[in-house]
Amino acid sequence: MMKQFLTINDLPDLNQAVNQGLELKKDPYKFESVGTHKTLGMLFFNPSLRTRLSTQKAAQHLGVKTMVMNFSNEAWALEFEDGTEMSGLRSEHIREAAAVVSQYCDVVAIRAFASLSDKEKDEQELVLKSFIKYASIPVINMESATAHPLQALADAITIKEFNTKKRPKIVLTWAPHPKALPHAVGNSFSRMVQLLDADFVIAQPKGYELNPEITGNTPCVYDQKEALEGADFVYAKNWCSYSQYGKILRTDKEWMLTQEKMKLTQQAKFMHCLPIRRNIVATDEVLNSPNALVIQQANNRTFAAQVVLKTILENG
């Protein structure tokens, strides 16, 4: 019984989910009657392209109706704190909003990014956890402060599609970016690969180590080139500092992914969740190479969402 999908660990079995995703990809409309008379609410507190469209497409495949809302400009500003006097700008409390949405929808999916200013609140996952607390329907995470599990499941499906080794070497490497970005994708990818039979290494500059509670026993090295050696999959992603929460510690290009660096690998596949800044995170050459899987990853977002939605609806 999956009543929420907050992190990749909410899946009862990652391998089974990956196989389901690959089956659905072969025949996307096979379960079109699963969603008859079901409605998915999609609530956005932040921008979205892939997540918005792929989740809608997944719902269409399953015959589920969608209702999309951009909270930032279409609805009321929400209050998440309990017990406050609501005399400020926030007109509606999450208690009511979540309970109300629960009556119009069968499942609700929510996107609410990290603030990157208040580590404690971000780690409490205030928005997502409040919806779970006060909603009476299952909640799907479409990227929260600390996790992006639909992306991680799509990444797992993509790795399964392209992997040729019994135990591939998978590298998650930090890469440069002009803006402070959240840790959600890095976190979820780390959690996911830890569930695979893989040789997993994370490379990042000093000060950019991810939350050690999430990376666990995964080796976290400071030498990108050493990490890339012999890699089968290279996942590039920027995130801001976790220890100096929200800070950008360096702006140089030393960690940008180049074809020269990719030569250190075993003709590794290059992965990124998108959107990606070209010639900042990775060069045009890397992204235009046949080894880049970024478009396939985006395609698999549909089937990842479809697995999650189908599992939830069949449980219900």
Binding residues for its own copies, how many (CB under 8 A)? 58
Q: To the nearest whole angstrom, how small is the minimum distance from the Cβ of residue 157 to its own copies?
A: 13
* Interaction pattern, residues 20-39, with its own copies; x per rule: CB under 8 A: ---------x-------x-x
Residues 69-108 interacting with its own copies (rule: CB under 8 A): 69-70, 73-76, 79, 82-88, 91-93, 95-97, 99-101, 103-105
User: What sign does the CA torsion over 218, 166, 189, 131 have?
Assistant: negative
Find out whether 192 and 222 touch, Cβ atoms under 8 Å.
no
When the beta carbons of 213 and 254 are compared against its own copies, the nearer one is 254
Report, in Å, the least distance between residue 79 CB and its own copies.
7
Quote the tokens at residue 203. 């490379």
**257: DSSP letter:** B
Site residues (CB under 8 A) for its own copies, limited to 183-212: none
Q: What length is written for the chain?
A: 316
Would you state the structure tokens that stand for residue 302, as one six-digit string?
């549909």
Choose, by CB under 8 A, the member of 12, 15, 49, 314 that binds its own copies.
49
Instruction: Give one DSSP letter per residue of 95-125, joined into a string.
Output: HHHHHHHHHH-SEEEEE----SS-HHHHHHT
Interaction of residue 48 with its own copies, rule CB under 8 A = yes
> Residues 115 to 144: which contact its own copies by CB under 8 A?
none
One of 56, 141, 158, 218 touching its own copies (CB under 8 A): 56
Binding window for its own copies (CB under 8 A); candidates: 13-21, 48-56, 227-235, 307-315: 48-56
Task: Count how many Cα atoms sit within 13 Å of the Cα of residue 119 in the half-sphere of its side chain.
Answer: 10
User: 3-class SS at 89?
Assistant: coil
To the nearest whole angstrom, how small is the minimum distance from the Cβ of residue 295 to its own copies? Answer: 5
The Cα 52–Cα 34 span in angstroms is 21
- In the list 8, 201, 298, 307, the residue contacting its own copies (rule: CB under 8 A) is 298
Q: Which of 17, 57, 157, 308 binds its own copies (CB under 8 A)?
A: 57
List, in order, residues 6 or more apart from 152 with CB less than 8 Å away.
Answer: 8, 185, 188, 189, 191, 192
Query: How many other β-carbons are positioned within 10 Å of the β-carbon of residue 198?
Result: 18
Q: Per-residue x/- marks for its own copies, 237-276, CB under 8 A?
A: -------------------------------------xxx
Q: Which is nearer to its own copies, 16 or 288 (CB)?
A: 288
Beta carbon nearer to its own copies, 166 or 179: 179
The beta strand positions in 58-189, using DSSP E, are 65-70, 78-79, 92-93, 107-111, 139-141, 169-174
H-helix or E-strand containing 220?
Answer: strand 220-221
107 DSSP β-pair partners: 40
End-to-end Cα distance, the chain: 8
- Site for its own copies, rule CB under 8 A: 29, 37, 39, 41, 44, 47-50, 52-54, 56-57, 60, 65, 67, 69-70, 73-76, 79, 82-88, 91-93, 95-97, 99-101, 103-105, 178, 274-280, 284, 287, 294-295, 298-299, 302
